[in-house]
Amino acid sequence: MQLYQERKFGNLISDTFTFFKEYGKNYFKNYFALNGILLLLFVIIFIFGYREFFLQLMNANVNGDTYFFQAYFQNNSLLLILGFAIFFILILALSIIMYAFPVLYMKRVAETGNKNVKPDQMLSDIRKNVGKMIIFFLGMLFIITPLMLIMMAISSFLMIIIIGFFLLILLMPAFVNVVNHTLFDYLSTKRGFFDSLSYAMRVNFADMFDSRKAKFWKYWGSTVITFLMVYVVLTIFTMIPYMIMIFGFATIPQMGTQQDPTQIFSGGFGIFMFLMYGISILVTFVLYNVMYVNAGLQYYDSRTDLHRNLDLNEIDTIGQGEI
């Protein structure tokens, strides 16, 4: 599968699944080799933290104690601070690997054509780009995110005349594309953060209203369609814990009027529900790779300078095997 090539709108979506058909086994083998332990720790901490928070919320509602949370935080302040610190470090490590992995994996495949990439090769690539990832996150936090919030505020204000709703639908996928294309260009080239951001802006918004030249609508549509497909699958998994929760509450009247609702979630039923919630989180992380790969194909489509170089290389190799 040639990554550096021009693709039409339909090819961007179909080639996303073709990529996983050809590289999926090796891709996820490396993904879980590098991410598996971090993902498992994240899910365990999240499940127990969410379960504890949920049970405290239920206790506060049952007992009618307005200051229940305040007392709980005061009595467990040291443990909570330590838990948040560990969770933050875990999130940072997970984010660096999770966002860098699809970019660097596709870069390696594009450069070598290797379908048997090793985990140690990916780990080496990620280590070399840790500094760039930190700069990228800082740029996201202090430059891109404020711009996004300003645009969202303007769109929300314009919702009173309806146009803001359509503006929000238009801008959010475009914002996602700018972020993804910036990351791909930043990790795939020697350009600095601002140069990569400038490149992503030009690719997405240059000739936006010229249907013959613009790439905006092709990338925007590809992102929207891919997101909708992923969203449908995720909805199935994320709705399971909520359906289990509703079922649990529906059984309360059968247990007597004095039954404490928190007992439902502190026993085996609660463990099963939060376990399902953890599985839905894992599925979410895995399925997001579909969107990252689609963004990568958009980026390789935009690199027309490399399309020409690859075409020339292919022409030069014609007939060499017959000598």
207-222 pLDDT tens trace = 666 666 678 999 999 9
The mean pLDDT of 81-87, rounded to a whole number, is: 80
Higher-confidence residue of 57 and 39: namely 39
- Average pLDDT of 66-95? 74
Q: Are 219 and 177 spatial neighbours (Cβ–Cβ below 8 Å)?
A: yes
Regarding pTM above 0.75, the answer is yes
Report the C-alpha gap between 238 and 243 in whole angstroms.
9
Count the alpha carbons within 13 Å of 219 in the hemisphere toward its beta carbon.
Answer: 34
Greatest mean pLDDT among 100-104, 257-261, 270-274 lies in 100-104
Task: Say if residues 159 and 165 touch (Cβ distance below 8 Å).
Answer: yes
Say which range, 14-28, 58-72, 104-118, 268-282, has the weakest mean pLDDT.
Answer: 58-72
Q: If pLDDT is split at 50, 70 and 90, which confidence band does 169 have?
A: confident
pLDDT value for 200: 94
Read off the pLDDT of residues 56-78 as tens digits, 9 standing for 90 and up. Answer: 665 555 555 555 556 666 676 77
Single-letter amino acid code for the residue at 21: K
CA–CA dist 14, 47 (Å, integer): 35
Mean per-residue pLDDT, 127-153: 91
Average pLDDT over residues 74-84: 74
> Does the structure show a pLDDT above 80 at 46?
no
Of the candidates 20, 28, 26, the one whose C-alpha atom is nearest the C-alpha of residue 297 is: 20
Which residue did the predictor score with more confidence, 266 or 11?
11
pLDDT for 27 beyond 70: yes
Name which residue leads in pLDDT, 56 or 25: 25
Decide if pLDDT at 262 tops 80: no
What would the two tokens of residue 17 be?
A: 């699944």
Indicate whether 322 pLDDT > 50: no
Q: Which two tokens stand for residue 202?
A: 């030009």
- Contact 45/83 with Cβ under 8 angstroms? yes
Long-range contact pairs involving 198-204 (C-beta distance under 8 Å, separation at least 24) = 203/302, 204/174, 204/177, 204/178
Show Cβ contacts of residue 291 under 8 Å, excluding neighbours closer than 6 positions: 223, 226, 227, 230
The DSSP output letter for 212 is T
